[in-house]
Each structure stands twice: as structure tokens, then as C-alpha cells.
Structure 1
Amino acid sequence: MVLLLFVDLDPQLAALGPLGGFFVLRTGVPPRGPLPTLAQAYTAPRLDTGHDVYADPITFRIHKVAQSIQAPEPRIAVSVAHQALAARLWSVALGTAALYGRLPDLDPRLLHWDPAGSALDDLWLSEVRPLPVEAIGEVVRGGHLVPLAAALRSRCHISAGLLWGNAGSALAGAVRQLDRWAQANGRAEVSGRARTLAAELFAHSDLSGTLDPATLRRRSCCLYYRLPGGGLCGDCCFTRPPKH
């Protein structure tokens, strides 16, 4: 169990700012106007056109990613889109927990998503409500990754194991980034908190088999190698790109 010194969550979650990248979480009302919540995105009916950001945010995002990376197969775009959102969710949750000793309530009904945007401006939390860090698994895994995987698999034939592999890889990546920041800024306690929380998260059955515990290499592939000019990720289960 993690022992933390509690620091009140400020309304802007300002402590996340220095972490940069996927860790920053905007709060309040998006300047471009209302955005769909992730709860709406997870439950929206599938629309094959992918043109309506509000009617079907998930399909819109898949189409946007597919065009951006020139994906030759829909499941590659699904995997890339999934891993990016999983990385955002793990990063903001783990970063806040490690820095504050508290977790913001990331209820999908409070978290607004711009599927046309990119970090830092893709996620907006409408209200900052503190939760104990022990809730991090249920908040991210149960509240987001489970319904996100269901929504993606209803739109594309893709392995559940691949998606959980993405989630495990994204969690490990968030820990590595926090490690680097903590070492560079003399905040060893932040790294320790993040590692302890991650170890507890990886003990859950959904994540426990996703990475090799000795090497932290994945046991599934995100399919990135199948992109034109794509290679292997740093934690890929393959040592050379398979022929396809």
C-alpha cells in the first residue's frame, strides 16, 4: 500500500504543467465551446462515415488517425488511437497521484474529449473532485479502458489482448516519463510513488500478463510495424518486423 503526503488538488491541477506532454490536464470549459464527454463517446452508436465529431467521436478519431498515419488496415488506426488515449488517461491519473497524493475524479461524464485535438488540449475536466489514490485502478481501468475497448471492438475486429497490451505499455511509459522528470528535478519521492502505484495496477488480471516482468517488453504487438515505413516500438514483443 502507498503512503503519501496529501496536497490539496488545485482547480487548475497546476503541478502537472511542468511534466508536459501527455500529463497535462486542462480544467474548466474548453475555449472552443462544448465538447462531447468520454461517457458519450463510449456509448455513441457507430456511424461508418466518421465525419461527425459529436455523433460518433470514436469513429471520428479512428478515421482521423487512419488518415494521419496512412494506415493500410483499420485495426492499425484503432490500435494507435487506443494507445494514445490510454497513455493520456494513465499519465494524468498517475502524474496527479504521484505529485499530489490524491487523484482527480476522472469520471467519463466529467472528462470532455476533443477527438480532433491532440495533447495538451484534447482532454478537459469540468470539475476537480479529489479521490484517494487507491481508486486509480477503478477510475482508469474500470471507468475508461473497459468501455473504450468495448467501443473500439464494436467498430473493428481487433484483439482484446492487443488492447490490454497497449494499456500496459502506456502505463509503463507513464512511469518511465515520471522517473525521468523526478530524477531531473530531485523528486525521488514522485518516482517512488509512481512505481508503487504501477506495481499495484499491474497486479490486476487485465494487466498482469501484458508485459514481461523481467524486460518490460510487451507480450502482444500494437501493429505499428505494419505501417508504411513503420518499425518496431521500443518495447515490442518482436526483435525484427514480421513479414506480412
Structure 2
Amino acid sequence: MDLDPDLAALAPLGGFFALRTGRTPDEPPPALAQTYENRPSEVYGNIVTFRVEKVASVLRAPEPRVAASIAQQGLVARLWSVMLGCAERYGRVPDLDPGLLHWDPGAAAPDDLWLSEVRPLPADPGTVADVVLHGHVVPLAAALRTHYRIAPGLLWGNAASALAGAARVLGASARTRALTAALLAHPLLAGTGTLTGTAFRRRSCCLYYRVPGGGLCGDCCFARPPCSSARDTSG
């Protein structure tokens, strides 16, 4: 089945999967290409730092890199969810070109995305990896590291964790399992953790335990939150 212009099959899957499509409003949120290039917005100023500061304020994050990590993982989770959801429901995926995909950095979670044109692509692992990893995760990491001291291994661990999480929410169909396993074997994600069935254990920590009341994520490398003097495992 080819993609429909509204990607209507995604809406029943939940907020992380749903994607607004069609012509953008008269004053659309910035395209992600603008975010990755660190080009300022008239509304938000620097889009990356605006989003991180918003996340930090909402979560009362104790330091900027904690908020940067959580902001990155939230956006990447949305991207994986859209791609896996479309692969499962349509057998095709949309082209999430950063010039077509608009993002409102001021919105609450899950991140608000708007795709201005639905262009179908094959749902094979190579295509999906090229769209998400090379099209978004790599430039997003570079944009974040321009402003924040955050380890590359942590960000790649976040990307892998977000992928495995999206797959768990979607369900354990053979198509989703095969696509997820192939993506986690991609050179950019290989070694970030271990996938056993639908359970993923990462080898890094997203730092969420540093948020007041945060605790550990279900796939964290730690068995218990480190003491404040412990060195973070970030890659």
C-alpha cells in the first residue's frame, strides 16, 4: 500500500507516531534544516538552545547537557516512530528531508513535527538509515555539540534507545523486528547496546537519572543511579 497524503494510519498508534502533513501555515515552524545549520529564527533565536532551555526548565535539569541529551532523544524518538510506523502500516516510508520537515521547538512532548510534502521511499534498512541517521541524527548531534559538552557515544546510545523504544511500542511483528535489528546493526549504531527479542540494554546513559525524581530508564546501562561523584558512562 502506498502512503496516503495524510499518513492517516499513523494517528491510531499514538502521539509519537502521528505526523501532520500538507501545506504549512502562513507562518510555519522552522524546518529542521535551519535547526541543524544553527541559523537563527526570528521567533526562537537559536533553535537548538531554545529547545534545550525549554526542556531544562520543564524538567528542572541540573545542567545543560542533561537537557540536551533528553531533547535529542525526544526528537529522534519521533523520527524513528514515524518511520517504523509507516514501514509497518504501509510497507513504505516518507522522505523526512530536513528541508521538508518542520519542528516547533516551543511545543510540549512529544515533539510537534509537520511534513510539508509526502514523498514515498522504500522501507528497506538502508533507506531508513539514510533518512534518519545521516539526514537527522548526525547533523543534530553536530548542532548540539556546537553549544554543549556532550559525548558522541551518549548521543548514539540515545538514538539506538529511541529506535528500540519505538519498536517496542509498535509491537513485535516480524517486519518491525527485522527492520529494527538491521538498523541497530548499522555501523553508526552497532555496539551501542544489546537487543534480546524486543528488550534493549544500552551501553551508555542518557543522564535522565540526574533530573529531580528521574531515576533510571528501563534500558539503562546502570543497575542503580550512580552517586554524584561517579563518572558518567557516555560512550
User: What TM-score, normalized to structure 1?
Assistant: 0.87
What do residues 104-138 of structure 1 show as CA deviations (whole Å, max 9, x unaligned)? 11000000010111356710000001111121110
More strand by share: 2
Q: Give the drift of 1:35.
A: 1.3
Paired residue total = 224
Q: Which residue of 1 aligns with 2:153?
A: 161
How many percent identity over aligned positions? 64
1:92 to 2:82 alignment: yes
**CA 1:53 to 1:24, structure 2 compared with 1: closer, same or farther past 3 Å?**
same
151-160 or 54-63, larger mean C-alpha shift: 54-63
Q: Which residue of 2 aligns with 1:188?
A: none
1:223 to 2:207 alignment: yes
Q: Which residue of 2 aligns with 1:202?
A: 184
Among 2, 7, 16, which residue is 1:22 paired with? 16
Aligned-partner residue type, residue 13 of structure 1: L
**CA 1:234 to 1:89, structure 2 compared with 1: closer, same or farther past 3 Å?**
same
Between the aligned partners of 1:26 and 1:165, the Cα distance in structure 2 is: 28
Q: Give the drift of 1:194.
A: 1.1
Aligned-partner residue type, residue 196 of structure 1: A
Q: Give the drift of 1:203.
A: 1.1
Q: Is the 8 A contact 1:97 1:133 kept in 2?
A: yes
Gaps of 5+ in 2: 229-235
**CA 1:8 to 1:98, structure 2 compared with 1: closer, same or farther past 3 Å?**
same
Q: Which residue of 2 aligns with 1:193?
A: 175
Q: Which residue of 2 aligns with 1:241?
A: 225
**CA 1:52 to 1:63, structure 2 compared with 1: closer, same or farther past 3 Å?**
farther
Aligned-partner residue type, residue 204 of structure 1: H
Between the aligned partners of 1:240 and 1:94, the Cα distance in structure 2 is: 31
Aligned-partner residue type, residue 11 of structure 2: G
**CA 1:130 to 1:65, structure 2 compared with 1: closer, same or farther past 3 Å?**
same
Q: Give the drift of 1:235.
A: 0.7
1:178 to 2:162 alignment: no
Between the aligned partners of 1:24 and 1:234, the Cα distance in structure 2 is: 24
Aligned-partner residue type, residue 194 of structure 1: T
Q: Which residue of 1 aligns with 2:71?
A: 81
Aligned-partner residue type, residue 116 of structure 1: G
**CA 1:17 to 1:36, structure 2 compared with 1: closer, same or farther past 3 Å?**
same
Aligned-partner residue type, residue 148 of structure 1: L
- SS of 1:217 mapped into structure 2: strand
Gaps of 5+ in 1: 1-6, 183-190
Q: Is the 8 A contact 2:208 2:214 kept in 1?
A: yes
Between the aligned partners of 1:41 and 1:84, the Cα distance in structure 2 is: 15
Among 116, 120, 134, which residue is 1:130 paired with? 120
Query: What is the alpha-carbon root mean square deviation over aligned residues?
Result: 1.8
1:148 to 2:140 alignment: yes
Q: Is the 8 A contact 2:78 2:111 kept in 1?
A: no
